[in-house]
Amino acid sequence: MTAIVSLKDVQKYYGTYHALRGVTLDIAQGEFFSLLGPSGCGKTTLLRTIAGFEDISEGTLILSGQNMADVPANKRPTNMVFQSYAIFPHLSVGENVAFGLRKRSDLNTKEKAALVQDALEMVGLVGFEKRAAHALSGGQRQRVALARALILKPKVLLLDEPLSALDKKMRDQMQNELRQLQRHVGITFILVTHDQEEALIMSDRIAVMFDGEIAQLADPQTLYRRPISRRVADFIGVMNFLPANASGNKIDIPGLGAATLTPEQCPGGTPSGPCTIGIRPETMSILFGTEPAPARETNGTVHELAYYGDMTYYDIALPGVEKPVTLSMKNLVGRRVLERGESTRISWDDRALVAFAD
Amino acid sequence: MFRNSQTARGLTLIAPPALYALLLLAVPLLAIFAFSFWSQDFLTIDYTPTLNNYREALSEPLYTELMMRSVLIAGAVTVATVLLAFPIAYFVSFHVPQSRKSLWIFLITIPFWTSYLIRVFLWKVILGYNGVLNSSLLSIGIIDEPLTFILYNANAVVITLAHAFAPFAILPIFVSLEKIDRSLLEASRDLGENHVMTFLRVTLPLAVPGVVAATLIVFIPTIGDYVTPRLVGGPNGLMIANMIQTQFLKLNNAPMGAALAVIAMAIVTVIALFFIFLNRRWLKGRNS
């Protein structure tokens, strides 16, 4: 893997506040990389240090083989799509897109206009070049911001929560388009987001950040199935946490009985003594009538339920477990929705369990 | 009578100031306008409508020269004030920490703590033949004899008015700079422009509404200023307002004074309209 972006032990202080605590990271050419974390975790700071808007206090940042220590933002091979899109309000769409072309003295006016046309075509805004910036919808502004950045053919495109200002439908559509666009242009994208679903959908790899540090760096499936800590697991999707007790590779889980876990199921290291077991709602299911269990089963009572249309989420109280476990069932044709207080059998597979040391 | 009670309530709310404005602004204005078409017949007013006042105002070199001078002085004051106000507004908006900005704006208004008249007198003390400026320069040997071009002429009027109107220029420019989304400046840097080009391509164009407002706010009152030219202008620094005063109070020719006042207002209107038009053109397609 040839790293286009390489960070080594990057530290950032704001006065006494330690915003980045030793971030080491390599991002490959052509990768769709996401920085995921709650607000204040340092993901935006990290993106801004790559763009050159923030100095790094310690450590090194190498972009495309060149140390960026003394390179100002306007000389870096990166371009950014801002959270607010930062469309110049005094310029038209075409002028916005052409903004960065002023310095390209190798191009004449005609060639520049052609480049603007190509860029607008790429983001689906042909015929908009005369349009005033304020006459654009949120999705169109986003496209202008993309065209304006991509027209300069950056080595790395930085996206700072680009979809957070859009409504749900538009966001879904743009996620798709962004992904396709990235494959099409082959430029490395670094996306900052607090939306775990967005990160899972779009990324080749995701770095989950907490408190200025990378907690886990993995591809979406590994991140979802094998979160390294309870905190990561809690941040990515929904997971049930059950108190348990480990001795050797045997783990005793009140409510679910004893289970044997493989080392892969303990991504944070094999625990011993009191620990926490995690299991995702969709890996458990309700057994109707005398339906045989595909794996292990136990009895419980419906404590609460939430009907989502396509899915129903049940909170099932298990004997000997304080907190009910949440599981989800698809509302298939002919499948009944249980009622509150109803007794039921539930089933799960031990392979879906993940153990975290306490 | 009113389509809804909200309209009625709105009209009721604006009625007192509207009435006030009507009585104290519109009525005197109309009176001035009416006077300008009459003529003074020794002690009485001749009410026969005539354009003689305007004819005289536009042909008599004394009047036209005063008019021209007023426009030039007001123009010079405006240019000087806006050029000096912009860096101050820029500094406060971009380089003063957020928590200190209101303090800075407060400090900028300090000149208003003393009366306008006192400030004009202070400039007399500073710029005078034996004034603060001359005696300081003399004592440190930069000049051999007192400078005389700084008091009792148009220069003194420009210096005094530029100082008096500085806060009026700083504030609208400051507001327009404050409204600029800082991510736009980062976007410009990100797209390859350095600080200077970012200023020219983003900051300055977006500050134009503030600059236009500052220009109008300074130019309009300056062109009709009476006190400053009277006190520091000397014979060559007098402006049209001084002549209007002379016509009304010394020469007892109210119709002539009224005609000069109407012409001065017309000039201001034309220039103001030009700037408003400029602003509109500039802001075409902008929502803020």
Arithmetic mean of pLDDT, B119-148 = 89
- Is residue A274 a contact partner of residue A358, using CB atoms and an 8 Å limit? yes
For residue A111, give how far its alpha carbon lies from the nearest alpha carbon of chain B (Å): 18
Whole-number pLDDT of residue B148: 85
B264 falls in which pLDDT band (50, 70, 90)?
very high
Q: Encoding tokens for residue B201? A: 């391509």
Residues from chain B contacting residue A52 (CB–CB below 8 Å): 189
Is B72 contained in some domain? yes
**Is the Cα dihedral B209, B211, B217, B220 positive or negative?**
negative
In which residue ranges of chain A is pLDDT below 70?
Answer: 1
pLDDT at B2 over 60: no
Number of domains in chain B: 1
For residue B197, give how far its alpha carbon lies from the nearest alpha carbon of chain A (Å): 10
Is B38 contained in some domain? no
Is B107 contained in some domain? yes
Counting residues of chain B whose pLDDT is more than 90, the rounded percentage is 64
Q: Do A82 and B194 touch (CB under 8 A)?
A: no
pLDDT in tens, B81-131: 999 999 999 999 999 999 999 999 999 988 788 888 999 999 999 998 888
Is B35 contained in some domain? no
Whole-number pLDDT of residue A151: 95
Is B248 contained in some domain? yes
Q: Do A99 and B286 touch (CB under 8 A)?
A: no
Which amino acid type is present at position B222? T
Arithmetic mean of pLDDT, B222-237 = 89
Residue in this structure with the two tokens 């620990």, named with its chain if needed: A275
Domain that holds residue B92: 53-282
**ipTM at complex level:** 0.85
pLDDT at B3 over 80: no
Whole-number pLDDT of residue B288: 40
CATH number at residue B112: 1.10.3720.10
Whole-number pLDDT of residue B287: 43
Q: Do A132 and B288 touch (CB under 8 A)?
A: no
For residue A42, give how far its alpha carbon lies from the nearest alpha carbon of chain B (Å): 18
Q: Do A134 and B184 touch (CB under 8 A)?
A: no
User: In chain A, which residue's Cα lies nearest the Cα of B198?
Assistant: A74
Residue from A87, A88, A106 whose CB has the most chain B CBs within 10 Å, to mutate: A88
Whole-number pLDDT of residue A1: 57
Q: Which domains does chain A have, with CATH numbers?
A: 3-225 (3.40.50.300), 238-357 (2.40.50.140)
pLDDT at B1 over 70: no
pLDDT in tens, B22-67: 899 999 999 999 999 998 887 888 888 889 999 999 999 999 999 9
Is B4 contained in some domain? no
B285 falls in which pLDDT band (50, 70, 90)?
very low
For residue B277, give how far its alpha carbon lies from the nearest alpha carbon of chain A (Å): 16
pLDDT at B227 over 80: yes
B283 falls in which pLDDT band (50, 70, 90)?
low
Whole-number pLDDT of residue B218: 94
Whole-number pLDDT of residue B281: 73
Is B20 contained in some domain? no
